[in-house]
Structure 1
Amino acid sequence: MEIGPTIAETVEGFFQWLVTSLTGQLLIAGSILAIGWYVSGIAVRLLGRPVAQRFERESLSRTVLRTIKLGIILFSAVVAAGVLPLGIGLSDILLSVTVLSAVIGVILAPVIGNYVGGLFVLADQPYEIGDMVEIVDAQQRGFIEDITLRYTKLLTEDNSVLVIPNNTIRERDVINYTAEDERTRMTIDMSVTYEGDLAEARRLAVRAARQTDGVIAGGPTIRVGNARYPARPTCQIREYGDHGVAVSLRYWVRTPYYTGKVQSEIQERIWEELKDADVEIPYPHTHVVFDETSGEMDVAVNRTDDTDPDVSRRP
Structure 2
Amino acid sequence: MQVEAEVVSLLQGVVNWLLRTTAGRSVIALAVLFVGWYCSRVAVRMLGRPVAQRFERQSLTRTILRMIRLSIMLVAIAVAAGVMGIGAGNILLSVTVLSAAVGIILAPIVGNYVSGLFVLADQPYEIGDMIEIVDATDTGLRGFIEDITLRYTKVLSEDNTLLVVPNATIRERDVINYSAEDERTRRSLDMTVSYEGDLAEARRIMVRSARAVDGVISGGPTIRIGSARYPARPTCNIVRYADHGILLRLRYWLRTPYYDAPIRSEIQRRIWEELADADVEIPYPHMHHVFDETSGEAHVTNGPRDGAGPDLSDRR
In which range does the TM-score fall when normalised by the shorter chain? 0.7 to 0.9
Cα 1:12–1:43 shift into 2, 3 Å? closer
1:110 aligns with 2:108: yes
1:306 paired residue number? none
1:202 aligns with 2:203: yes
1:190 aligns with 2:188: no
Number of residues of Structure 1 aligned to a counterpart in Structure 2 = 291
Query: Helix, strand or coil: the match of 1:145?
Result: strand
Aligned partner (choices 66, 70, 95) of residue 97 of structure 1: 95
1:228 aligns with 2:229: yes
2:302 paired residue number? 297
For the residues of structure 1 that align with 2:252 and 2:155, how far apart are their CA atoms?
Answer: 28
In the TM superposition, what is the alpha-carbon distance from 1:96 to its structure 2 partner?
2.4
In the TM superposition, what is the alpha-carbon distance from 1:286 to its structure 2 partner?
7.4
In the TM superposition, what is the alpha-carbon distance from 1:15 to its structure 2 partner?
3.2
1:16 paired residue number? 16
1:310 paired residue number? none
In the TM superposition, what is the alpha-carbon distance from 1:123 to its structure 2 partner?
0.5
Identity across the alignment (%): 66
For the residues of structure 1 that align with 2:286 and 2:48, how far apart are their CA atoms?
Answer: 66
2:70 paired residue number? 70
For the residues of structure 2 that align with 1:279 and 1:63, how far apart are their CA atoms?
Answer: 58
In the TM superposition, what is the alpha-carbon distance from 1:12 to its structure 2 partner?
6.6
Deviates more, 1:175-184 or 1:131-140: 131-140
Using the size of structure 2 for normalisation, the TM-score is 0.86
For the residues of structure 1 that align with 2:271 and 2:299, how far apart are their CA atoms?
Answer: 42
In the TM superposition, what is the alpha-carbon distance from 1:281 to its structure 2 partner?
1.2
Q: Which amino acid aligns with 1:264?
A: S
How does 1:195-274 map onto structure 2 within 5 Å? 195-274=196-275
1:80 paired residue number? 80
2:31 paired residue number? 31
For the residues of structure 2 that align with 1:64 and 1:8, how far apart are their CA atoms?
Answer: 37
Deviates more, 1:98-107 or 1:256-265: 98-107
For the residues of structure 1 that align with 2:121 and 2:191, how far apart are their CA atoms?
Answer: 42
1:60 paired residue number? 60
Query: Helix, strand or coil: the match of 2:100?
Result: helix
For the residues of structure 2 that align with 1:207 and 1:77, how far apart are their CA atoms?
Answer: 68
Q: Deviations over 1:69-110 (max 9, x none)?
A: 00110111111011113xx42233123213321221121000
**Aligned residues of 2:154 and 2:165 also touching (Cα < 8 A):** yes
Q: Which amino acid aligns with 1:109?
A: A
**Aligned residues of 2:244 and 2:286 also touching (Cα < 8 A):** no
For the residues of structure 2 that align with 1:128 and 1:179, how far apart are their CA atoms?
Answer: 8
1:282 paired residue number? 283
Query: Helix, strand or coil: the match of 1:31?
Result: helix
In the TM superposition, what is the alpha-carbon distance from 1:294 to its structure 2 partner?
6.4
Query: Helix, strand or coil: the match of 1:128?
Result: coil
For the residues of structure 2 that align with 1:219 and 1:15, how far apart are their CA atoms?
Answer: 76
Cα 1:7–1:189 shift into 2, 3 Å? closer
1:132 paired residue number? 130
Deviates more, 1:130-139 or 1:168-177: 130-139
Q: Which amino acid aligns with 2:204?
A: R
In structure 2, stretches of 5+ residues that fail to align are: 1-5, 291-296, 306-316
2:42 paired residue number? 42
Q: Which amino acid aligns with 1:38?
A: Y
Query: Helix, strand or coil: the match of 1:216?
Result: coil
Larger Rg: 1
